Structure 1
Amino acid sequence: MKTILLTASSIVFLFILSWLIFYIKGKQFALRNRLHKADAIVVLAGTRGNIKFLDSKIQTAINLYRNEWAPYIICSGRFSAKVAGSGEPNLIPLDDLQAAARNGRIQEKDIARAAETWDVNLGANYLRNKALAMGIPADSILVEDQSLHTRENAEYVLLLDLLKEHHFTHIILVTSPFHQLRTYLTFKKVFDLHDIKITNFSDTNGWHPATWFLSSKNRHIVHGEIERIKLYRAKGDL
């Protein structure tokens, strides 16, 4: 009887320990800081094959704008991965991708997949159109529609005339919960050089740190993000 109780106690302990590890990881990825007034809300394109990720991010940015946390929304990213049922994709031409590889913007090994999946129709202008349809004034929306990865998101947002002209010093950064950590680390590497503060406000729709790991798709996505963080770190991007 004593052995059975010890075994049961061990199982409970391991269950709690495993849950705690996943909970901490969930909080680590889906970063959210206390909000303060900022100069702009930056929201990134990207679907990971699910249009809900894209729509939910722009909805989070719109909510922040309507609650007057910042007077501008900046939509960033040339593309998102195409999504079945979202219309005919407008894929990035192969010549453009090959040129990007020659210029060191993407890797040669990514060209074939990119040519089949990188949909310009689901990029920054998709986010802009969603915001306009929901009543956000056109002059409150800025578009950066050339970046091909997270590092370029940060670098190309900095090139926007409005940021330079008005000397922005604080942004609110919005992306998907599993992408927030890598995005923040990447933006920080770039923005710290310009003394621009970043407040994280991950879109957490459908994501909770206590339960996210119950979805095999979420576990797969987070594993992929961990590998990307290692890759970005090796490249010096964060």
Structure 2
Amino acid sequence: MKKIKWLLLVVGLLGGLWLLSPFMLDFAGRVLIVQDKLRPADLIVVLGGDGNGERVATGVRLYKQGLAPKILMSGGPLAWQLTYAEWMKKQALASGVPAAAILLQAKSLSTAEDAKYSRQVIEPLKIKTIILITSPQHTRRAARVFRKIFPAPDYEIMVYPAQPSAFKVDRWWTRYEDRALVVWEYFSSVLYFFKGY
């Protein structure tokens, strides 16, 4: 009789976890995404690292809406002596952004370096308000890093996810690409936590 009670308890607990798992998985994906309310800023910073140009397209759209007079493309080596920053600049130029409105930071190889090297470009320009564009699943970590490198009250960082995005938070665990992105983001977030971000 005792064994049956334990078996029923274990089966009940496992069944409960199974029923709750979609909600927990959904939460795990959504908690990665940060979207601040936007207002006009001094600069839009677009982080490199997405292969389909969704971050640049979002930055260009916000630029054309008049949310900032300049865009900083941030990203280091890509391939064949081409950097993410240069590749993103080409996309922005093709989308109608004038060359005079585009700044480049082409040394970074990580989110932390994006922030550090971008600050070297931004500091002399007396910029105080920044709209930060990255992929949805990357927004929370990028926000933490940039807000550490650009601390308040000297700077204000408004984070905005690329829209539309290849990353789909709804049922992300059912698609290989989205699973890989979420797992990578959690791994990177833990790593960055131990680095002090």
Is 2:168–2:178's contact at 8 Å kept on the other side of the alignment?
no
Is 2:83–2:106's contact at 8 Å kept on the other side of the alignment?
no
Q: Which amino acid aligns with 2:30?
A: K
- Structure 1, unaligned stretches of length 5 or more? 1-6, 81-88, 91-119
- Structure 2, unaligned stretches of length 5 or more? 1-10
Q: Determine which of 8, 20, 23 is the counterpart of 1:20.
A: 23
TM-score normalised by structure 2 residue count: 0.84
| Alpha-carbon distance in 1 for matches of 2:119, 2:42 | 13
| Alpha-carbon distance in 1 for matches of 2:147, 2:34 | 14
TM-score normalised by structure 1 residue count: 0.70
Cα drift, residue 155 of structure 1: 1.2
Matches within 5 A, 1:43-192: 43-47=46-50, 51-52=51-52, 55-80=53-78, 89-90=79-80, 120-160=81-121, 163-192=122-151
Find the residue that maps to 1:174 and give its secondary structure. Answer: strand
| Alpha-carbon distance in 1 for matches of 2:25, 2:47 | 25
Is 2:129–2:155's contact at 8 Å kept on the other side of the alignment?
yes
Moved more, 139-148 or 193-202: 193-202
Residue-by-residue CA offset, 1:208-234 (whole Å, 9 max, x unaligned): 332322212211221122111111221
Find the residue that maps to 1:182 and give its secondary structure. Answer: helix
Q: Which amino acid aligns with 1:184?
A: A
| Alpha-carbon distance in 1 for matches of 2:23, 2:37 | 23
Structure with bigger strand share is: 2
Find the residue that maps to 1:178 and give its secondary structure. Answer: helix
| Alpha-carbon distance in 1 for matches of 2:131, 2:103 | 14
2:160 aligns with 201
| Alpha-carbon distance in 1 for matches of 2:23, 2:97 | 40
Q: 4+ runs of 1 displaced by more than 4 Å?
A: 13-16
Percentage identity across paired residues of the two chains: 30
Is 2:41–2:130's contact at 8 Å kept on the other side of the alignment?
yes
Is 1:43–1:58's contact at 8 Å kept on the other side of the alignment?
yes
Cα drift, residue 124 of structure 1: 0.5
Q: Which amino acid aligns with 1:62?
A: V
Cα drift, residue 174 of structure 1: 0.7
